Chain A
Amino acid sequence: MADQRISPAALASPFIPNLWDLLALVFILLSLVLIVWGAHVTNAPLSALDATPISLAPAHLADYALRTTLRMLLAIVFSLLFTFIYATVAAKSPRAERVMIPVLDILQSVPILGFLTFTVVFFLNLFPGRVLGAELASVFAIFTSQAWNMAFSMFQSLKNIPQDLDEAAASFHLTPWQRFWRLEVPFATPGLVWNTMMSMSGGWFFVVASEAITVGNTSITLPGLGSYVALAIEKRNLAAILYAVGTMLAVIVAYDQLLFRPIVAWADKFRFEQTASENVPHSWMLDLFRQTRALRALSLRLGTLARGASKWPVRLPSLPKLRFELPFSTRQIDLVWNGLVLALALAAMAAIYAYLAPTISSAEVGHAFMLGLYTLARVAVLMVLATIIWVPVGVWIGLRPRVAERLQPLVQFLAAFPANIAFPVFVVLIVRYHLSPNVWLSPLMILGTQWYILFNVIAGASAFPTDLREAARSFHFRGWRWWLKVMLPGIFPYYVTGAITASGGCWNAALVAEVASWGSTKLTAAGLGSYIAEASSAGDFQKVVLGIAIMSLMVTMINRALWRPLYKFSERRLTM
């Protein structure tokens, strides 16, 4: 490709701008102005929030959307930082890995939404009287929805660095610092970008849920789309809700086109394969930047600067090697370490018990567990329904390349849309037609996550080899036999991938979906989600902890007992 071969000659006169420069410059200036302004507002005292209450006037939507987006961006930066540090430490030290990776695994299944109340209180106390505290609480909520799987992805990449590159880095004397930026980060980039995108939906979901928080008697509303929706619900303003949905759509499209698409297209060069692939991701934004002469020169300069940092042959204070000749073997040190971890875990269990025991009776535990089973039943039924509906649809779309090409972006987009913004629309219907909340609130749980099933099935069906399809046709496979012997095994690995994400998302959504209100009308479905949500708005922390513990336990068990074996099976037997 012509634009990929940058000959040094083209750099000779880089500063004569062309027309594209103007366009790109506008984008950059705008984002700079917005960021500066955003920083200015977050430093305001908390009372400023009350002075300028949320307004339902559509004119304010742009402002709110921007604030919501900035929170999102900040959270990604934090998640990346966390990922680099956590994953690297876990990958380099087997002892740390033994503790850190299971912790990460459990954290993935904890419904962090339930902890929102704690984190808000914590951050408010950290910066008393500042908006910053509440802002950080919200950012933290988003962070928790993204950081875990990003760290996991990075960890796995670090563990799978090809041996020859590893040896090449060593034999050319790269320092740990150079090695990190020249080998480890680039190698992990494609997986990291993909995982960040997958976390997006969770992120939007959480930012919306975390802007309007009530803890006991205090309620905090940060200006943003989430608060806007919360107020609209209180005021029973359906039109405002539709405005918010529209704005969210616009924000996600912009975010995708201006930020993520360029990153995905750019990250393509880090994919570890030696052959050029045919489907190269494209981004008009990235093309714009690549075609603008002055900007490209600027970005090259910046890149050189950044790369310069990675090139420093810094001999990092390579972790002080504890080499005082201990009279123990590594085996003994391992034993001590394991014992230490075990003792800590026991102490933690004792502490939790001491905290819960005075107020939580065993009957309460049983009650919460029953509610957990209700929610489990809901998730199961919804997953089955979503499968029955979306697998055939996905196969139909996936086998028609033209249709798939047009619909796939739409479906991915739907998956990124925070369904909780649209909840009120459904709640209105339930209220109006006096439907049973126990049944009809349930579909809200899967509203946002069902698309993962659909787009993975589409991807699977599109990737289904043509020769196998032709073979099936020539052997006259039809009807159920065709589904059972040909198509379903072919798309199964993709389906499992989608279903894991969808079911995980369902549990998280339960906290928001099982309790819904419209003005003063409040709908509640019996379940663990509503249990946690109610306990948390009542400030009953013990019950929140109990509910979250039970939910984490259930999610982890289901992951271990159902999804992991299915995934293993599909990896082993059904991958082509």
Chain B
Amino acid sequence: MLDRSNPTHLIDIVDVCRSFAKANGTKIDVLDKVNLTIKSGEIVGLLGRSGSGKSTLLRIIAGLVKPSSGDALCRGAAIAGPPRGVSMVFQSFALFPWLTVLQNVELGLEALGVEAATRRERALAAIDLIGLDGFENAYPKELSGGMRQRVGFARALVVHPDLMLMDEPFSALDVLTAETLRTDLIDLWIEGRLPIQSILMVTHNIEEAVLMCDRILVFSANPGRVGADIKVDLAHPRNRLDPAFRQIVDSIYARMTQRPETRTAALEGIPGTGVGMMLNHVSTNVIAGLIEALAGAPYLGRADLPVLAGSLQMEADELFHIGEALQLLRLAHLSEGDMVLTDTGRRFAMLDTDGRKKLFADLLVAYVPLVGLIRRVLDERPSHMAPAARFRNELEDYMSEDNADETLKSVVSWARYAELFAYDEQAEAFSLENPH
């Protein structure tokens, strides 16, 4: 059993900012003055929406990304390159497919120059601990996802790190496997059998964070900041149905859908304003499906997000994306952990296909400035054609290339559904003509 009674600071993050340069020379802020401390003996969760910069923060601590400003310290020393005593578990497992389980686990020790016999002994011990006995000589491709992530854990544990970083370690697994792995890990942790002092995990799954962590840092996006620091004092093993557990989950949902006091031109959750609004692609089928589900029984226009997420088998993150699209188009709004259908939303649910398309077109033109802009440009030009590059360039003044692509993709797909304008993928051009 490790001594966790006298906590020391493992990681100190002080006023860390990180921005990425874009092609045109301007910068995008991903992290803005983030502060955080990780002590020994705790499991800390970084909870946030995708794209909120939490993975970047994790990589700064892992020494894989450098902060643009501010200090990142590991045991008081500045982090330059991957620090000793910190190891990482990856979302995609990141196993070397040409190495066996045993060789994968030994890899980290090899780099440290550990002598062969000791290496083998420690690797076998880690494999034993994490429940991979008998799989030593299997190649990763012969294993199921859950077993692969166990290899990922064994590989991270075998170097006996002070801090184990986990980047959404369960999100590539199916529900049952993920739950087994979580409880196995927590069991080992509370029994003190893990050769580590602390865990920092990144996740977008609210329940997972509440289930595992002693402390949850809720990240707000654009640029990423630590919005709240929530202590979870429940004893392990935790019960998802425990009212105290549900209450923490609900409060986090509420916090993540909170409306800001003063309503700015930007919609909450959706960064950017005007033409520079960043859009995430949400299929029109999903939009229509969710509206129908919301309008019908048992929700009748108002649904509790955790309940809705459970019954639709969606991740909270997914649901937020769709909810934001609905909110942008004034079809629904999010507040206090609920999703509420607006009058327009109710009307949409009643209409037939053609009616929905017309309504959708009106909403797009009214509330998505980029759609309005494209439509105006097409109307003004005699050829009624415009290259996508013209709009992409404009978007890239506000956001990264990837986000500009995603935004254009959303606009193309929504406009196609609304029959507002056409897009020729090969010529990369918008036009008013629809093929007959």
A positions within 8 Å CB-CB of B: 4-8, 162, 164-165, 167-168, 170-175, 178, 182-183, 186, 189, 269-276, 311, 313, 572-573
Contacts and interface: CB of A to CB of B under 8 A. Distances in A.
A171 B87 contact: yes
A186 B138 contact: no
Nearest to B91: A164
A183 B107 CA distance: 11
Contact of B111 (A174, A270, A275, A573): A174
B114 to A, nearest CB: 9
Given A6-B137, A162-B92, A171-B63, 9 more contacts: A165-B96, A172-B108, A173-B112, A178-B111, A189-B98, A269-B97, A274-B148, A276-B142, A313-B113
A189 B99 CA distance: 14
B86 interface: yes
B160 interface: no
Given A172-B111, A173-B111, A274-B140, A167 B97 contact: no
Interface residues of B, number: 36
Given A167-B88, A168-B90, A172-B87, A313 B96 contact: no
Nearest to A272: B97
Contacts of B62: 167, 171
A167 B107 CA distance: 14
B110 A178 contact: yes
Report which residue of A168, A271, A572 has the largest number of chain B beta carbons within 10 angstroms of its beta carbon.
A168
Contact of A167 (B64, B108, B137, B142): B64
B98 A269 contact: yes
12 contacts: A167-B62, A170-B82, A171-B62, A171-B63, A171-B82, A171-B88, A172-B108, A173-B82, A183-B96, A189-B98, A269-B98, A311-B110
A5 B102 CA distance: 12
A502 B133 CA distance: 52
Given A271-B97, A313-B112, A168 B137 contact: no
Q: Which of A4, A186, A311 has the most chain B CB atoms inside 10 A of its CB? A: A311
A572 to B, nearest CB: 8
Contacts of A173: 82, 84, 108, 111-112
A154 to B, nearest CB: 16
A6 B100 CA distance: 11
Contacts of A183: 96
A66 B62 CA distance: 55
A173 B93 CA distance: 17
Dominant SS among interface residues on chain A = helix
B108 to A, nearest CB: 4
B135 to A, nearest CB: 10
B contact face: mostly helix, strand, loop, or mixed: loop
Contact of B92 (A164, A171, A269, A573): A164
A270 B98 contact: yes
B141 interface: yes
Contact of A170 (B64, B97, B107, B112): B64
Contacts of B142: 276
Interface in B48-64: 59, 62-64
Contacts of A573: 426
B87 to A, nearest CB: 6
Contacts of A164: 90-94
Contacts of A189: 98
A165 B110 CA distance: 16
Contacts of A270: 97-98
Contacts of A178: 110-111
Contacts of A172: 82, 87, 107-108, 111, 155, 159
Nearest to A307: B103
Contact of A269 (B59, B86, B93, B139): B139
Given A7-B137, A170-B64, A173-B82, A313 B110 contact: yes
A248 to B, nearest CB: 35
A5 B91 CA distance: 27
A313 B136 CA distance: 24
Most buried by A among B99, B107, B112, B142: B107
B86 A171 contact: yes
B426 A274 contact: no
A40 to B, nearest CB: 38
Nearest to A274: B141
Nearest to B145: A274
Contacts of A167: 59, 62, 64, 88, 90, 94
Given A178-B111, A573-B426, A186 B64 contact: no
A182 B139 contact: no
A274 B94 CA distance: 10
B180 to A, nearest CB: 20
B340 to A, nearest CB: 40
A313 B141 contact: no
Nearest to A569: B426
A263 to B, nearest CB: 14
B119 to A, nearest CB: 9
A7 B140 CA distance: 16
A182 B107 contact: yes
Nearest to A269: B98
Contact of A186 (B86, B96, B137, B141): B96
A175 B81 CA distance: 12
Nearest to A6: B137
Nearest to A190: B98
A572 B425 CA distance: 10
A5 B137 CA distance: 6
A272 B139 CA distance: 12
B360 to A, nearest CB: 29
Contacts of A8: 136-137
Contacts of A165: 94, 96
A276 to B, nearest CB: 5
A509 B53 CA distance: 57
Shortest beta-carbon contacts, A-B, top 5: A164-B94, A172-B108, A168-B94, A313-B113, A173-B111
A168 B112 CA distance: 14
Contacts of A4: 139
B173 to A, nearest CB: 13
Nearest to B86: A171
A186 B98 contact: yes
Contacts of B93: 164
Nearest to B65: A167
A566 to B, nearest CB: 14
A174 B107 CA distance: 8
A504 to B, nearest CB: 28
Nearest to B114: A313
A568 to B, nearest CB: 11
A167 B81 CA distance: 11
Contacts of B91: 164
Given A172-B107, A173-B112, A175-B111, A5 B94 contact: no
A167 B90 CA distance: 9
B88 A168 contact: yes
A165 B96 CA distance: 7
Contacts of A274: 97, 140-141, 148
